[in-house]
Structure 1
Amino acid sequence: MEFNWESTVITMIAFLGLYLLLNKYAFGPLFAIMEKRRELVKEEISAAESSRKEAERNMEEQKQALQQVRKEAHDIIEQARATSTKQADDILAAAKTESVRLKDEAVKDIENEKNKAIAALRSQVSGMSVLIASKIIEKQIDEKSQEQLVDRYLNEVGKSS
């Protein structure tokens, strides 16, 4: 095998020419497309990172909002408990006051009825006394008969009351 330097030089010149043509028409646009793609991927990674940070911030805000809502719900429940306890105490106090008022009215009614009964009894007794006196005068009976008559009328008054 013989070394042919001319064909080596022609091959090198052809290779160099092909390289220059590829570099001008193929590698340039290809590298430009690859550079654009690299920039696009870099931008997408950056956007994804900012989206992730935004999502983390939103998640933290939601956690804080949820904690705030839970605290408010707990406060509302505690306030409702306090209000219901106060209302129950108010209702009990009103019921006690009403029962005392009703008891006092009942005692006054009983006292009034008792006084009316005593007054009615007194009027009956005085009517009876007048009746006894008139009968005594009519009969002109002796003292012993008068005592028996008075006792009998008093017994009748005692039985009717």
Structure 2
Amino acid sequence: MLTSNFVLGAAAAHFNGGDIIYQLVVFIVLLALLKKFAWGPLMGIMKEREQHVASEIEAAEASRKEALQYLEEQREIVKQSRTEAAQLIENAKKQGEAQREDIINQARAEAERVKESAKREIVQEKEKAVAALREQVASLSVMIASKVIEKELSVADQEKLINEYIQEVGEER
């Protein structure tokens, strides 16, 4: 055992430059291989991922701007709809007011026509009644005159006769 320790100790004390150079060359080759086969594709994947994330952010921003534009358009449409609705309501009120006035004017004209017709009818009926009364008074006067001529009457008899004729005329009606 002792000999094996000595050999190891001698190897540790001895500086071997060839091994170091060999290990350095192998390390550099390993780094070159890693750069070519691992680091390059890894960086490519990272750049691809970065571009994908950037395009997703741009798409999201574009979608957000489009949504804001759409929202603004919708607000404008709602505003126009409210304005149009208010105008329609106002027009309907004006039209209703005009129709109301028209109906009132027609009703007044009809009432005036009916009133004038009734006045004419009343005047005609009054004239008919006056004419009928004149006829009755005339016939009554003739009858009274004929009775008076037939006999001479006292004042009491005259009043009695007039009252009888008035009653007869009232009953005939």
TM-score scaled by length of structure 1: 0.82
Larger Rg: 2
Deviations 1:6-52 (A, max 9, x none): 33322321221111111222122212211211111111111111111
1:92 aligned residue: 104
1:141 corresponds to which residue?
152
The 3-state SS of whatever aligns with 2:25 is helix
Q: Which amino acid aligns with 2:32?
A: L
State the alpha-carbon separation in 2 of the partners of residues 11 and 105 from structure 1.
135
Q: For residues 90 and 154 of structure 1, what CA distance do their matches in structure 2 show?
A: 59
**Under a length normalisation based on structure 2, what TM-score does the superposition of the two structures give?**
0.77
Q: CA separation of 1:155/1:130 partners in 2, compared to 1, >3 Å: closer, same or farther? A: closer
Per the alignment, residue 116 of structure 2 pairs with 104
- Give, in angstroms, the shift of residue 122 of structure 1: 1.1
Which of these residues, 93, 101, 114, is aligned with residue 81 of structure 1? 93
2:27 aligns with: 15
Say whether 1:152 aligns with 2:169. Answer: no
Quick one: distance in 2 between partners of 1:43 and 1:123?
117
Three-state SS of the structure 1 residue aligned to 2:77 is helix
Which of 54, 57, 65 matches 1:45? 57
- What is the distance in 2 between the residues matched to 1:76 and 1:154? 78
Deviation string, structure 1 residues 77-105 (Cα, Å, up to 9, x no partner): 11111111112211211221122112112
Q: Judging changes above 3 Å, is the alpha-carbon distance between structure 1 residues 19 and 107 closer, same or farther for their aligned structure 2 residues?
A: same
- Structure 2 regions of 5+ residues with no counterpart? 1-11
How many residues end up aligned between the 2 structures? 157
- Rounded to whole Å, the distance in 2 between the matches of 1:115 and 1:5 is 158
C-alpha displacement of 1:121? 0.6
Partner of 1:33: 45
CA distance in 2, matches of 1:75, 1:123: 71
Question: Shift in Å at residue 148 of structure 1?
Answer: 3.4
- TM-align CA RMSD: 2.7
Compared CA separation, residues 40 and 32, structure 1 to 2 (3 A):
same
